[in-house]
Homo-oligomer: A and B are copies of this chain.
């Protein structure tokens, strides 16, 4: 049988109130009683019950984190950052895989509410109104990571997607490329879709390159779907010398498809990715890409959330710095 605070109180000949005080480092006991209480705790191998504590404190020291796909390299990197920061601050993480499914998300939100989490981090997906309403009803702090929203009360931490894409595109242009295609996301996606496409377009325009809409392919971000986009690209636009892929997986899909057709990267076609997952350096050839500081973003999100929890203060959103990591998939044209 696990011992409770009563057991140690009895054995130490004090009241549970006193035990509670030494446990929580509150004032109100002599050095002597502290010593005996501590000794008894040791003898009984007593550990406080966080559930009982949570019930009364209205704090569970746990935060819920929602990802569209926990097993993606992207999510796991963010998760790692969150976990690391949170653990140091004595918070635990419960992970939720929404599978980008509304019902599943709502179910998880309900579970998190019932379990009285102290706060929630919502990652990579658009915060639908339905979710927002549920979150508001829960009345806990929320922070967004790798996404944003129109709800001003919800802070986010993310990269400037428009700008990052603009720079990726200019990088290609400065390397002498003029025939540039893009493998992006769905244009209706307001997070990782539209802004990146818009940044791409603007960079082209600002550099006097005619925009050709047929050179923008929807690759759905993941490898499989991007593979068909890449096939398409290569067969319909052989004049293209460089492509900007809005995710590393899509960039790698392009490389794979090119290899299959005997087209070599970067000699015959250049490509720059987006994310800088571990994948990128393991790629063959190693992938030049736009780095998002995913781990750091997770840490910052956890930091913000925890300060909202503890101080009830409003917190400001944060744009994280991106940067270009030059590896071997972009060739300088003469």
Interface of A toward B, CB cutoff 8 Å: 2, 45, 47-52, 54-55, 60, 62, 69-73, 75-77, 79-80, 83-84, 87, 90, 92-97, 104, 108, 110-111, 113-116, 137, 139, 223, 249, 252-253, 255-256, 259, 278-279, 281-286, 295
Contact = CB atoms under 8 A, between A and B. Distances in A.
What is the copy number of this chain in the assembly?
A: 2
Contacts of A47: 110, 113-114
6 contacts: A49-B116, A70-B83, A71-B80, A73-B278, A92-B94, A94-B95
Nearest to A252: B282
Contact of A93 (B77, B80, B90, B94): B94
Nearest to A61: B115
A223 B278 CA distance: 9
B284 A283 contact: yes
A286 to B, nearest CB: 7
Interface residues of A: mostly helix, strand, loop or mixed? helix
A5 B173 CA distance: 64
Nearest to A75: B76
Nearest to A285: B259
A153 to B, nearest CB: 19
Nearest to A92: B94
A63 to B, nearest CB: 10
A77 B278 CA distance: 15
A71 B62 contact: no
Given A49-B116, A282-B256, A79 B70 contact: yes
A286 B256 contact: yes
A2 B114 CA distance: 11
Most buried by B among A72, A75, A76, A93: A76
Nearest to A64: B92
